[in-house]
Structure 1
Protein backbone atom coordinates (compact mmCIF):
# COMPACT_ATOMS: atom_id res chain seq x y z
CA UNK A 1 0.00 0.00 0.00
CA UNK A 2 1.27 3.44 -0.88
CA UNK A 3 0.35 6.76 0.64
CA UNK A 4 -1.55 9.68 -0.77
CA UNK A 5 -0.33 13.23 -0.31
CA UNK A 6 -3.17 15.57 0.62
CA UNK A 7 -2.93 19.34 0.22
CA UNK A 8 -5.31 22.24 0.43
CA UNK A 9 -4.07 23.64 -2.91
CA UNK A 10 -1.67 22.72 -5.72
CA UNK A 11 -0.23 24.96 -8.45
CA UNK A 12 1.42 23.56 -11.58
CA UNK A 13 2.41 25.31 -14.80
CA UNK A 14 4.57 25.11 -17.90
CA UNK A 15 3.82 21.47 -18.61
CA UNK A 16 4.16 21.97 -22.39
CA UNK A 17 2.07 18.99 -23.43
CA UNK A 18 2.63 18.51 -27.14
CA UNK A 19 6.43 18.66 -26.95
CA UNK A 20 9.05 15.95 -26.58
CA UNK A 21 10.51 17.84 -23.62
CA UNK A 22 7.35 17.44 -21.54
CA UNK A 23 7.89 15.04 -18.63
CA UNK A 24 4.29 13.82 -18.72
CA UNK A 25 5.02 10.49 -17.02
CA UNK A 26 6.39 12.25 -13.95
CA UNK A 27 3.46 14.67 -13.85
CA UNK A 28 0.97 11.82 -14.18
CA UNK A 29 2.70 10.05 -11.30
CA UNK A 30 2.45 13.25 -9.24
CA UNK A 31 -1.25 13.68 -10.02
CA UNK A 32 -1.97 10.04 -9.14
CA UNK A 33 -0.38 10.40 -5.71
CA UNK A 34 -1.78 13.78 -4.68
CA UNK A 35 -5.20 15.15 -3.82
CA UNK A 36 -6.26 18.73 -3.10
CA UNK A 37 -9.27 21.01 -2.75
CA UNK A 38 -7.95 23.53 -5.28
CA UNK A 39 -5.86 22.73 -8.36
CA UNK A 40 -4.49 25.67 -10.34
CA UNK A 41 -3.13 25.16 -13.86
CA UNK A 42 -1.03 28.30 -14.20
CA UNK A 43 -0.46 28.48 -17.94
CA UNK A 44 1.45 26.78 -20.76
CA UNK A 45 -0.20 23.47 -20.02
CA UNK A 46 -0.53 22.68 -23.73
CA UNK A 47 2.12 24.10 -26.07
CA UNK A 48 0.12 25.51 -28.95
CA UNK A 49 3.21 27.14 -30.48
CA UNK A 50 4.95 23.78 -30.82
CA UNK A 51 1.86 21.93 -32.05
CA UNK A 52 1.41 24.45 -34.86
CA UNK A 53 4.93 23.67 -36.10
CA UNK A 54 4.86 19.92 -35.64
CA UNK A 55 2.22 17.60 -34.20
CA UNK A 56 3.56 15.62 -31.24
CA UNK A 57 1.20 13.93 -28.78
CA UNK A 58 2.08 10.87 -26.70
CA UNK A 59 -0.50 8.73 -24.88
CA UNK A 60 0.94 10.03 -21.60
CA UNK A 61 -0.02 13.57 -22.64
CA UNK A 62 -3.61 12.44 -23.13
CA UNK A 63 -3.48 10.62 -19.78
CA UNK A 64 -2.52 13.86 -18.00
CA UNK A 65 -5.52 15.67 -19.52
CA UNK A 66 -7.85 12.84 -18.57
CA UNK A 67 -6.49 12.73 -15.02
CA UNK A 68 -7.12 16.46 -14.51
CA UNK A 69 -10.64 16.16 -15.93
CA UNK A 70 -11.32 13.21 -13.63
CA UNK A 71 -10.17 15.19 -10.60
CA UNK A 72 -12.51 18.02 -11.59
CA UNK A 73 -15.45 15.62 -11.94
CA UNK A 74 -14.73 14.18 -8.50
CA UNK A 75 -14.93 17.55 -6.77
CA UNK A 76 -11.51 19.20 -7.02
CA UNK A 77 -11.91 22.88 -7.88
CA UNK A 78 -9.74 23.19 -10.99
CA UNK A 79 -8.85 26.62 -12.41
CA UNK A 80 -6.99 27.03 -15.69
CA UNK A 81 -5.11 30.30 -16.27
CA UNK A 82 -3.82 30.30 -19.88
CA UNK A 83 -0.25 31.33 -20.64
CA UNK A 84 1.40 32.56 -23.83
CA UNK A 85 1.89 29.07 -25.27
CA UNK A 86 -1.80 28.18 -24.82
CA UNK A 87 -3.03 31.74 -25.37
CA UNK A 88 -5.79 30.51 -27.70
CA UNK A 89 -7.72 29.54 -24.57
CA UNK A 90 -7.83 33.20 -23.48
CA UNK A 91 -10.84 33.73 -25.73
CA UNK A 92 -12.77 31.48 -23.32
CA UNK A 93 -11.90 33.36 -20.11
CA UNK A 94 -14.86 33.38 -17.75
CA UNK A 95 -16.28 30.13 -19.13
CA UNK A 96 -16.24 26.53 -17.86
CA UNK A 97 -14.78 23.54 -19.68
CA UNK A 98 -15.54 20.10 -18.25
CA UNK A 99 -15.90 21.48 -14.69
CA UNK A 100 -12.72 23.53 -15.15
CA UNK A 101 -12.89 27.31 -14.76
CA UNK A 102 -10.88 29.40 -17.23
CA UNK A 103 -9.62 32.68 -15.77
CA UNK A 104 -7.06 35.31 -16.74
CA UNK A 105 -5.94 35.62 -13.10
CA UNK A 106 -7.37 34.91 -9.65
CA UNK A 107 -6.86 35.95 -6.05
CA UNK A 108 -6.26 32.90 -3.84
CA UNK A 109 -6.92 33.18 -0.12
CA UNK A 110 -4.84 30.69 1.84
CA UNK A 111 -5.99 28.93 5.00
CA UNK A 112 -4.04 31.44 7.11
CA UNK A 113 -5.81 34.39 5.48
CA UNK A 114 -2.96 35.50 3.23
CA UNK A 115 -3.99 36.58 -0.26
CA UNK A 116 -2.03 35.75 -3.39
CA UNK A 117 -2.30 36.96 -6.96
CA UNK A 118 -2.21 33.93 -9.27
CA UNK A 119 -1.31 34.47 -12.93
CA UNK A 120 0.95 32.96 -15.58
CA UNK A 121 3.27 35.97 -15.78
CA UNK A 122 3.96 36.39 -19.50
CA UNK A 123 2.52 39.91 -19.38
CA UNK A 124 5.66 40.85 -17.43
CA UNK A 125 7.95 39.44 -20.12
CA UNK A 126 8.91 42.30 -22.45
CA UNK A 127 10.10 39.88 -25.16
CA UNK A 128 6.73 38.12 -25.37
CA UNK A 129 4.74 41.36 -25.22
CA UNK A 130 6.85 43.56 -27.52
CA UNK A 131 8.62 41.17 -29.90
CA UNK A 132 6.69 37.93 -30.21
CA UNK A 133 8.73 36.86 -33.26
CA UNK A 134 11.88 36.96 -31.11
CA UNK A 135 10.16 34.88 -28.44
CA UNK A 136 9.23 32.27 -31.06
CA UNK A 137 12.82 32.08 -32.34
CA UNK A 138 14.04 31.68 -28.77
CA UNK A 139 11.40 29.01 -28.19
CA UNK A 140 12.72 26.98 -31.13
CA UNK A 141 16.28 27.18 -29.84
CA UNK A 142 14.97 26.12 -26.44
CA UNK A 143 13.18 23.19 -28.06
CA UNK A 144 16.43 21.99 -29.62
CA UNK A 145 18.09 22.10 -26.21
CA UNK A 146 15.23 20.06 -24.77
CA UNK A 147 15.66 17.41 -27.47
CA UNK A 148 19.31 17.09 -26.52
CA UNK A 149 18.22 16.96 -22.91
CA UNK A 150 15.80 14.10 -23.69
CA UNK A 151 18.50 11.85 -25.14
CA UNK A 152 20.95 12.83 -22.43
CA UNK A 153 18.51 11.73 -19.72
CA UNK A 154 17.72 8.48 -21.49
CA UNK A 155 21.42 7.67 -21.22
CA UNK A 156 21.41 8.70 -17.54
CA UNK A 157 18.42 6.44 -16.90
CA UNK A 158 20.29 3.44 -18.35
CA UNK A 159 23.04 4.18 -15.83
CA UNK A 160 20.53 4.32 -12.98
CA UNK A 161 20.88 8.09 -12.56
CA UNK A 162 18.04 10.55 -11.87
CA UNK A 163 16.71 13.34 -14.07
CA UNK A 164 19.01 16.32 -14.70
CA UNK A 165 18.15 19.37 -16.78
CA UNK A 166 20.75 20.51 -19.28
CA UNK A 167 18.63 23.48 -20.36
CA UNK A 168 18.16 24.64 -16.79
CA UNK A 169 21.89 24.37 -16.16
CA UNK A 170 22.67 26.48 -19.23
CA UNK A 171 20.15 29.16 -18.26
CA UNK A 172 21.64 29.46 -14.80
CA UNK A 173 25.10 29.94 -16.32
CA UNK A 174 24.13 32.70 -18.75
CA UNK A 175 24.35 36.12 -17.12
CA UNK A 176 21.64 37.71 -19.28
CA UNK A 177 19.23 34.91 -18.45
CA UNK A 178 19.94 35.32 -14.73
CA UNK A 179 19.36 39.08 -14.96
CA UNK A 180 16.10 38.53 -16.85
CA UNK A 181 14.83 36.16 -14.17
CA UNK A 182 15.63 38.67 -11.42
CA UNK A 183 13.89 41.51 -13.27
CA UNK A 184 10.85 39.32 -13.91
CA UNK A 185 10.56 38.26 -10.29
CA UNK A 186 10.78 41.85 -9.03
CA UNK A 187 8.19 43.08 -11.55
CA UNK A 188 5.66 40.39 -10.65
CA UNK A 189 6.19 40.96 -6.92
CA UNK A 190 5.70 44.71 -7.41
CA UNK A 191 2.32 44.06 -9.05
CA UNK A 192 1.15 42.08 -6.03
CA UNK A 193 2.40 44.80 -3.68
CA UNK A 194 0.61 47.52 -5.66
CA UNK A 195 -2.64 45.61 -5.23
CA UNK A 196 -2.16 45.30 -1.49
CA UNK A 197 -1.75 41.53 -1.59
CA UNK A 198 0.53 39.30 0.48
CA UNK A 199 2.16 37.60 -2.46
CA UNK A 200 2.07 36.34 -6.02
CA UNK A 201 2.08 32.85 -7.53
CA UNK A 202 3.15 32.48 -11.16
CA UNK A 203 4.98 30.34 -13.72
CA UNK A 204 6.38 31.25 -17.16
CA UNK A 205 10.14 31.34 -16.49
CA UNK A 206 10.57 27.65 -15.53
CA UNK A 207 12.36 28.46 -12.28
CA UNK A 208 10.78 27.25 -9.06
CA UNK A 209 11.33 29.81 -6.33
CA UNK A 210 9.92 31.07 -3.04
CA UNK A 211 11.34 34.24 -1.54
CA UNK A 212 10.29 37.57 -0.11
CA UNK A 213 10.74 40.57 -2.40
CA UNK A 214 10.09 44.05 -1.01
CA UNK A 215 7.68 42.78 1.62
CA UNK A 216 5.64 40.37 -0.51
CA UNK A 217 6.09 36.64 -1.08
CA UNK A 218 7.10 35.71 -4.61
CA UNK A 219 6.29 32.10 -5.53
CA UNK A 220 6.99 30.38 -8.84
CA UNK A 221 5.78 26.80 -9.24
CA UNK A 222 8.49 25.91 -11.78
CA UNK A 223 7.66 23.55 -14.63
CA UNK A 224 7.34 19.95 -15.84
CA UNK A 225 10.06 20.18 -18.49
CA UNK A 226 13.15 21.12 -16.50
CA UNK A 227 12.59 21.31 -12.75
CA UNK A 228 9.57 18.95 -12.35
CA UNK A 229 8.12 20.98 -9.49
CA UNK A 230 4.79 22.04 -8.02
CA UNK A 231 3.82 24.60 -5.41
CA UNK A 232 1.56 23.26 -2.68
CA UNK A 233 -0.42 24.73 0.20
CA UNK A 234 -0.58 22.76 3.44
CA UNK A 235 -3.68 22.66 5.63
CA UNK A 236 -2.36 25.54 7.76
CA UNK A 237 -1.78 27.82 4.76
CA UNK A 238 1.99 27.26 4.53
CA UNK A 239 3.36 27.11 0.98
CA UNK A 240 6.07 24.72 -0.17
CA UNK A 241 7.75 23.65 -3.39
CA UNK A 242 7.81 19.92 -4.10
CA UNK A 243 10.29 18.45 -6.58
CA UNK A 244 9.21 15.23 -8.34
CA UNK A 245 12.34 14.18 -10.24
CA UNK A 246 11.84 10.56 -9.25
CA UNK A 247 8.75 8.39 -9.36
CA UNK A 248 6.71 8.20 -6.17
CA UNK A 249 7.84 4.70 -5.26
CA UNK A 250 11.48 5.81 -5.39
CA UNK A 251 11.01 8.79 -3.10
CA UNK A 252 8.16 7.84 -0.76
CA UNK A 253 10.37 7.79 2.34
CA UNK A 254 11.91 11.16 1.53
CA UNK A 255 8.48 12.70 0.98
CA UNK A 256 7.18 11.24 4.22
CA UNK A 257 10.12 12.75 6.08
CA UNK A 258 9.80 16.10 4.33
CA UNK A 259 6.09 16.67 4.78
CA UNK A 260 4.12 17.01 8.03
CA UNK A 261 2.22 13.87 8.98
CA UNK A 262 -1.27 15.47 8.93
CA UNK A 263 -1.19 15.65 5.11
CA UNK A 264 0.39 12.24 4.63
CA UNK A 265 -2.49 9.77 4.97
CA UNK A 266 -2.52 6.07 3.97
CA UNK A 267 -5.38 6.27 1.46
CA UNK A 268 -3.83 5.79 -1.95
CA UNK A 269 -4.22 2.24 -3.27
CA UNK A 270 -2.17 0.93 -6.17
CA UNK A 271 -1.51 2.75 -9.42
CA UNK A 272 -4.99 3.14 -10.88
CA UNK A 273 -5.59 6.41 -12.70
Structure 2
Protein backbone atom coordinates (compact mmCIF):
# COMPACT_ATOMS: atom_id res chain seq x y z
CA UNK A 1 0.00 0.00 0.00
CA UNK A 2 1.47 3.42 -0.97
CA UNK A 3 2.23 6.03 1.65
CA UNK A 4 -0.04 9.08 1.65
CA UNK A 5 1.54 12.45 2.40
CA UNK A 6 -0.32 15.31 4.09
CA UNK A 7 0.97 18.63 5.31
CA UNK A 8 -0.62 18.09 8.74
CA UNK A 9 -2.37 15.27 10.59
CA UNK A 10 -4.32 15.44 13.86
CA UNK A 11 -5.21 12.28 15.81
CA UNK A 12 -6.69 11.89 19.27
CA UNK A 13 -8.34 9.50 21.70
CA UNK A 14 -6.25 6.39 21.11
CA UNK A 15 -6.51 5.40 24.80
CA UNK A 16 -3.31 3.37 24.71
CA UNK A 17 -3.30 1.05 27.70
CA UNK A 18 -6.90 -0.09 27.35
CA UNK A 19 -8.48 -2.98 25.49
CA UNK A 20 -10.73 -0.55 23.60
CA UNK A 21 -8.05 0.71 21.22
CA UNK A 22 -8.09 -0.60 17.65
CA UNK A 23 -4.32 -0.78 17.74
CA UNK A 24 -3.80 -2.64 14.46
CA UNK A 25 -5.64 0.12 12.59
CA UNK A 26 -3.65 2.81 14.40
CA UNK A 27 -0.34 1.19 13.47
CA UNK A 28 -1.46 0.68 9.87
CA UNK A 29 -2.49 4.34 9.65
CA UNK A 30 0.82 5.59 11.06
CA UNK A 31 2.86 3.36 8.76
CA UNK A 32 1.01 4.42 5.62
CA UNK A 33 0.69 8.16 6.19
CA UNK A 34 3.33 10.86 6.38
CA UNK A 35 3.11 14.54 7.30
CA UNK A 36 5.16 17.63 8.06
CA UNK A 37 3.15 18.17 11.27
CA UNK A 38 1.66 15.47 13.49
CA UNK A 39 -0.57 16.62 16.35
CA UNK A 40 -1.44 14.13 19.10
CA UNK A 41 -4.57 15.81 20.43
CA UNK A 42 -4.99 14.19 23.82
CA UNK A 43 -6.01 10.90 25.43
CA UNK A 44 -3.22 9.19 23.51
CA UNK A 45 -2.35 7.25 26.67
CA UNK A 46 -5.12 6.34 29.09
CA UNK A 47 -3.34 7.02 32.39
CA UNK A 48 -6.70 6.88 34.17
CA UNK A 49 -6.64 3.12 33.56
CA UNK A 50 -2.97 2.74 34.54
CA UNK A 51 -3.78 1.58 38.08
CA UNK A 52 -6.89 -0.38 37.11
CA UNK A 53 -6.64 -2.65 34.08
CA UNK A 54 -3.54 -1.66 32.12
CA UNK A 55 -3.37 -3.56 28.81
CA UNK A 56 -0.21 -3.31 26.69
CA UNK A 57 0.19 -5.77 23.80
CA UNK A 58 3.34 -5.77 21.66
CA UNK A 59 1.63 -3.79 18.89
CA UNK A 60 1.45 -0.80 21.25
CA UNK A 61 5.24 -0.73 21.39
CA UNK A 62 5.31 -0.53 17.60
CA UNK A 63 2.82 2.37 17.67
CA UNK A 64 5.03 4.32 20.07
CA UNK A 65 8.19 3.45 18.14
CA UNK A 66 6.59 4.59 14.87
CA UNK A 67 5.67 7.98 16.33
CA UNK A 68 9.19 8.36 17.77
CA UNK A 69 10.65 7.48 14.37
CA UNK A 70 8.52 10.14 12.70
CA UNK A 71 9.71 12.73 15.23
CA UNK A 72 13.34 11.70 14.72
CA UNK A 73 12.89 11.80 10.96
CA UNK A 74 11.84 15.44 10.79
CA UNK A 75 8.09 15.42 11.40
CA UNK A 76 7.13 18.11 13.91
CA UNK A 77 5.24 16.11 16.56
CA UNK A 78 3.20 18.06 19.12
CA UNK A 79 1.51 16.28 22.04
CA UNK A 80 -1.48 18.08 23.58
CA UNK A 81 -2.63 16.13 26.70
CA UNK A 82 -6.30 15.43 27.37
CA UNK A 83 -8.32 14.48 30.42
CA UNK A 84 -7.15 10.83 30.37
CA UNK A 85 -3.46 11.78 30.14
CA UNK A 86 -3.81 15.07 32.05
CA UNK A 87 -0.73 14.31 34.17
CA UNK A 88 1.37 15.30 31.16
CA UNK A 89 -0.03 18.83 31.31
CA UNK A 90 2.51 19.53 34.03
CA UNK A 91 5.23 19.23 31.35
CA UNK A 92 3.82 22.03 29.16
CA UNK A 93 6.62 23.44 26.99
CA UNK A 94 8.96 20.46 27.44
CA UNK A 95 10.43 18.52 24.50
CA UNK A 96 11.06 14.80 24.98
CA UNK A 97 12.56 12.66 22.19
CA UNK A 98 11.77 15.43 19.66
CA UNK A 99 8.11 15.49 20.76
CA UNK A 100 6.89 18.85 22.04
CA UNK A 101 4.33 18.79 24.87
CA UNK A 102 1.91 21.73 24.81
CA UNK A 103 -1.42 22.24 26.52
CA UNK A 104 -2.60 24.32 23.56
CA UNK A 105 -1.16 25.18 20.16
CA UNK A 106 -1.86 27.49 17.24
CA UNK A 107 -1.57 25.86 13.84
CA UNK A 108 -1.31 27.97 10.69
CA UNK A 109 -2.36 26.30 7.45
CA UNK A 110 -0.46 26.80 4.24
CA UNK A 111 -3.05 29.37 3.09
CA UNK A 112 -2.64 31.46 6.26
CA UNK A 113 -5.63 30.41 8.37
CA UNK A 114 -4.97 29.96 12.08
CA UNK A 115 -6.51 27.25 14.27
CA UNK A 116 -6.45 26.75 18.01
CA UNK A 117 -5.60 23.13 18.84
CA UNK A 118 -6.45 21.52 22.18
CA UNK A 119 -8.05 18.31 23.45
CA UNK A 120 -11.49 19.80 24.11
CA UNK A 121 -12.34 18.56 27.60
CA UNK A 122 -12.39 22.18 28.81
CA UNK A 123 -15.61 22.61 26.81
CA UNK A 124 -17.27 19.58 28.42
CA UNK A 125 -19.68 20.78 31.14
CA UNK A 126 -19.69 17.35 32.79
CA UNK A 127 -15.92 17.40 33.29
CA UNK A 128 -15.94 21.06 34.30
CA UNK A 129 -18.73 20.85 36.86
CA UNK A 130 -19.26 17.13 37.72
CA UNK A 131 -15.92 15.29 37.45
CA UNK A 132 -17.31 12.34 39.44
CA UNK A 133 -19.99 11.90 36.79
CA UNK A 134 -17.37 12.00 34.04
CA UNK A 135 -15.44 9.21 35.78
CA UNK A 136 -18.58 7.11 36.13
CA UNK A 137 -19.42 7.74 32.50
CA UNK A 138 -15.98 6.55 31.40
CA UNK A 139 -16.44 3.27 33.25
CA UNK A 140 -19.89 2.72 31.71
CA UNK A 141 -18.58 3.61 28.23
CA UNK A 142 -15.76 1.06 28.59
CA UNK A 143 -18.32 -1.61 29.46
CA UNK A 144 -20.44 -0.64 26.47
CA UNK A 145 -17.44 -0.98 24.18
CA UNK A 146 -17.08 -4.58 25.32
CA UNK A 147 -20.77 -5.13 24.56
CA UNK A 148 -20.50 -3.86 21.00
CA UNK A 149 -19.87 -7.32 19.57
CA UNK A 150 -23.36 -8.34 20.70
CA UNK A 151 -25.26 -5.06 20.56
CA UNK A 152 -25.15 -3.12 17.33
CA UNK A 153 -27.56 -0.43 16.18
CA UNK A 154 -28.57 -1.20 12.60
CA UNK A 155 -29.12 2.00 10.63
CA UNK A 156 -30.20 2.25 6.98
CA UNK A 157 -27.12 2.24 4.76
CA UNK A 158 -27.95 5.66 3.33
CA UNK A 159 -27.91 7.30 6.76
CA UNK A 160 -24.73 8.60 8.30
CA UNK A 161 -24.26 7.90 12.00
CA UNK A 162 -22.83 5.67 14.69
CA UNK A 163 -23.75 2.00 14.41
CA UNK A 164 -22.53 0.52 17.67
CA UNK A 165 -24.51 0.71 20.88
CA UNK A 166 -21.72 2.54 22.73
CA UNK A 167 -21.31 5.13 19.97
CA UNK A 168 -25.04 5.74 19.72
CA UNK A 169 -25.52 6.19 23.48
CA UNK A 170 -22.41 8.35 23.83
CA UNK A 171 -23.55 10.56 20.97
CA UNK A 172 -27.01 10.98 22.44
CA UNK A 173 -25.58 11.84 25.88
CA UNK A 174 -22.98 14.22 24.49
CA UNK A 175 -25.61 15.96 22.40
CA UNK A 176 -27.65 16.59 25.55
CA UNK A 177 -24.82 17.89 27.72
CA UNK A 178 -23.39 19.98 24.89
CA UNK A 179 -26.79 21.61 24.50
CA UNK A 180 -27.04 22.29 28.23
CA UNK A 181 -23.48 23.52 28.45
CA UNK A 182 -23.73 25.72 25.35
CA UNK A 183 -20.84 23.90 23.73
CA UNK A 184 -21.08 25.87 20.49
CA UNK A 185 -20.91 29.18 22.32
CA UNK A 186 -17.87 28.08 24.32
CA UNK A 187 -16.03 26.99 21.17
CA UNK A 188 -16.80 30.26 19.37
CA UNK A 189 -15.83 32.30 22.44
CA UNK A 190 -12.50 30.48 22.81
CA UNK A 191 -11.68 30.98 19.14
CA UNK A 192 -12.52 34.68 19.40
CA UNK A 193 -10.33 35.05 22.50
CA UNK A 194 -7.36 33.63 20.61
CA UNK A 195 -8.21 35.56 17.42
CA UNK A 196 -8.12 32.46 15.27
CA UNK A 197 -10.19 31.20 12.35
CA UNK A 198 -11.21 27.96 13.95
CA UNK A 199 -10.65 25.24 16.50
CA UNK A 200 -9.35 21.67 16.27
CA UNK A 201 -10.08 19.25 19.10
CA UNK A 202 -10.96 15.66 20.00
CA UNK A 203 -12.53 14.36 23.23
CA UNK A 204 -16.11 13.62 22.14
CA UNK A 205 -15.17 10.64 19.92
CA UNK A 206 -17.09 12.02 16.95
CA UNK A 207 -15.28 13.42 13.92
CA UNK A 208 -16.75 16.43 12.17
CA UNK A 209 -16.23 19.71 10.37
CA UNK A 210 -18.79 22.50 10.59
CA UNK A 211 -19.20 26.22 10.87
CA UNK A 212 -20.20 27.82 14.19
CA UNK A 213 -20.86 31.40 13.25
CA UNK A 214 -17.60 32.58 11.71
CA UNK A 215 -15.58 29.86 13.47
CA UNK A 216 -14.66 26.58 11.80
CA UNK A 217 -15.09 23.76 14.33
CA UNK A 218 -13.31 20.49 13.57
CA UNK A 219 -13.03 17.27 15.56
CA UNK A 220 -10.56 14.47 14.99
CA UNK A 221 -12.79 11.62 16.18
CA UNK A 222 -11.23 8.60 17.89
CA UNK A 223 -9.51 5.22 17.49
CA UNK A 224 -11.62 3.06 19.77
CA UNK A 225 -14.59 2.96 17.37
CA UNK A 226 -14.53 5.19 14.32
CA UNK A 227 -10.79 5.22 13.43
CA UNK A 228 -10.72 8.79 12.13
CA UNK A 229 -8.22 11.62 11.87
CA UNK A 230 -8.18 15.20 10.60
CA UNK A 231 -5.74 16.20 7.88
CA UNK A 232 -4.56 19.25 5.94
CA UNK A 233 -3.37 18.84 2.37
CA UNK A 234 -0.80 20.94 0.52
CA UNK A 235 -3.48 23.49 -0.45
CA UNK A 236 -4.55 24.08 3.15
CA UNK A 237 -7.85 22.21 2.84
CA UNK A 238 -8.99 20.31 5.92
CA UNK A 239 -10.75 16.98 5.71
CA UNK A 240 -11.54 13.82 7.65
CA UNK A 241 -9.71 10.55 7.10
CA UNK A 242 -11.47 7.27 7.89
CA UNK A 243 -9.21 4.25 8.27
CA UNK A 244 -11.33 1.09 8.60
CA UNK A 245 -9.85 -0.61 5.53
CA UNK A 246 -6.71 -0.57 3.44
CA UNK A 247 -8.24 1.78 0.86
CA UNK A 248 -9.56 4.64 3.01
CA UNK A 249 -8.77 7.70 0.91
CA UNK A 250 -10.53 9.27 -2.01
CA UNK A 251 -10.57 12.76 -3.46
CA UNK A 252 -12.87 15.29 -1.81
CA UNK A 253 -15.70 16.37 -4.12
CA UNK A 254 -16.92 19.38 -2.15
CA UNK A 255 -15.15 22.51 -0.97
CA UNK A 256 -17.86 23.40 1.54
CA UNK A 257 -16.55 22.67 5.03
CA UNK A 258 -19.91 21.72 6.47
CA UNK A 259 -20.42 19.10 3.74
CA UNK A 260 -16.99 17.51 3.81
CA UNK A 261 -17.90 14.85 6.32
CA UNK A 262 -21.66 14.85 6.02
CA UNK A 263 -21.37 13.40 2.54
CA UNK A 264 -18.40 11.20 3.47
CA UNK A 265 -15.92 13.28 1.50
CA UNK A 266 -12.53 12.49 2.94
CA UNK A 267 -9.24 14.33 3.08
CA UNK A 268 -7.18 14.30 -0.11
CA UNK A 269 -3.40 13.77 0.18
CA UNK A 270 -0.76 16.09 -1.27
Partner of residue 48, structure 1 = 47
* SS of aligned partner of 2:249: helix
Deviations 1:179-238 (A, max 9, x none): 324533442232102322100000111110100001110000011012110000000100
* Residue 109 of structure 2: aligned partner: 110
Secondary structure (helix, strand or coil) at the match of 2:148 reads helix
d(CA) in 1 for partners of 2:267 and 2:240? 14
The separation in 2 between residues aligned to 1:242 and 1:20, in whole angstroms, is: 23
Task: Give the one of 249, 253, 261 matched to 1:255.
Answer: 249
What is the CA distance between 1:261 and its match in structure 2?
A: 7.6
Instruction: Report 1:171-210 matches (<5 A).
Output: 171-172=170-171, 174=172, 176-182=173-179, 183-210=182-209
**Corresponding residue for residue 227 of structure 1:** 226
- CA-based RMSD of the aligned residues comes to 2.0
The two structures have a TM-score, normalised by structure 2, of 0.85
Gaps of 5+ in 2: 153-161, 253-265
- Give distance in 1, aligned partners of 2:227 and 2:76: 22
Task: Give the unaligned 5+ runs of structure 1.
Answer: 154-162, 264-273
Question: Is residue 95 of structure 1 aligned with residue 89 of structure 2?
Answer: no
Report the count of equivalent residues.
Answer: 246
> 4+ residue runs of structure 1 moved beyond 4 angstroms?
150-153, 256-262
Equivalent position of 2:36 in the other structure: 37
Greater RCO structure (CA 8 Å; 6+ sep)? 1
Q: Could you tell me how far apart the structure 2 residues matched to 1:239 and 1:228 are?
A: 17
SS in 1 for 2:21: coil
- With normalisation by structure 1, the TM-score equals 0.84
